Structure 1
Amino acid sequence: MRIAAPGPQIFDPDTGQYIPGPAVVVYEGPGQHRAAGGPGIVLRLEGQPYKDDGDGRYLLFTPLGAPVAVDGNDVTVIASPDPGAIGRTFHVLDPGQSGGMTVVRSTWMRIATVGGTQ
């Protein structure tokens, strides 16, 4: 697994705007991911607002010695026995969970991209 944080903003002299810089890798090493349930099912009443919960949720498991993934980080699968998982990218939703009986850290994510071997 690779966990990356957004890079610092870079000034683009051609446009006069700041643009996102390259991501900064904060961790690369062992980790696992798994689906944590399918997409939410939302019943909608005509004319009523509702929150669309269409993204599937996933859990990331990392060793306790790995840095804590935080909201805004991206996680990319860089190696897996499942070739279909390689290249998938996820957005971290919350900081990694911890507790007194923790043996691995779990972190909630949602899928960002699917496909492609890196």
Structure 2
Amino acid sequence: MTGLDLSGIARVVEDLVLLDTVQFSRPGIGAPVFDQDTGEYIYPQDEILYEGRGAVQVASSPGGVSSLPLPNLPWSDETTSRYRALTPLSAPIAERDMLVTVVAIHPGGDLALLGRQWRVTDPSVAGTLSAVRITALDQVQQTREGSA
């Protein structure tokens, strides 16, 4: 008995949905180094594990406020922004805390996605019957360049 073959459906979904270019990277390891010439910190370079076809979409569930207490605050001021990345099944399974960045947008796409980053909250989903790989994301509220 043979199983259900979704490879034809996967190609159709990829052609209809995976229109942008996404990058999955592992944050660079090590402390930033202060550059005397520019007066800015230089962070270790990220390790790129995948760059190719993909899409980033808002997940169906709404975001919320984290409940991690900070000094003098009973809650965290960072919200959870639930998104998901879709990539071909040939893309590697993302690891928790990897960064996902939209690096190119298809013609007519949402330019507001360019350069935005998300953090992988769980390893990519892998299943017996899949047409694309789905990865749970949380939008990064502040990038390294925006940090002081």
TM-score normalised according to structure 1 size = 0.73
* Distance across 2 between alignment mates of 1:83 and 1:3: 19
Give the fraction of aligned pairs with identical amino acids, expressed as a percent: 32
Partner SS for 2:140: strand
Aligned equivalent of 1:59, options 74, 80, 84: 84
**Unaligned runs of at least 5 residues, structure 1:** 13-18, 43-48
**Unaligned runs of at least 5 residues, structure 2:** 1-21, 34-41, 67-73, 143-148
Which residue of structure 2 lines up, in the alignment, with residue 95 of structure 1?
A: 123
Partner SS for 2:103: coil
Alignment of 1:67-82 (within 5 A): 67-80=92-105, 81-82=109-110
* Distance across 2 between alignment mates of 1:111 and 1:11: 22
> Cα–Cα, structure 1 residues 21 and 64, in superposed 2: closer, same or farther, change >3 Å?
same
Corresponding pairs, count: 104
Alignment of 1:1-118 (within 5 A): 1-9=22-30, 21-36=44-59, 37-40=61-64, 54-80=79-105, 81-113=109-141
> Cα–Cα, structure 1 residues 71 and 20, in superposed 2: closer, same or farther, change >3 Å?
farther
Residue by residue over 1:20-55, the C-alpha shift from the partner in whole angstroms, topping out at 9 and shown as x without a partner, is 62101111000011111322379xxxxxx7788831
TM-score normalised according to structure 2 size = 0.60
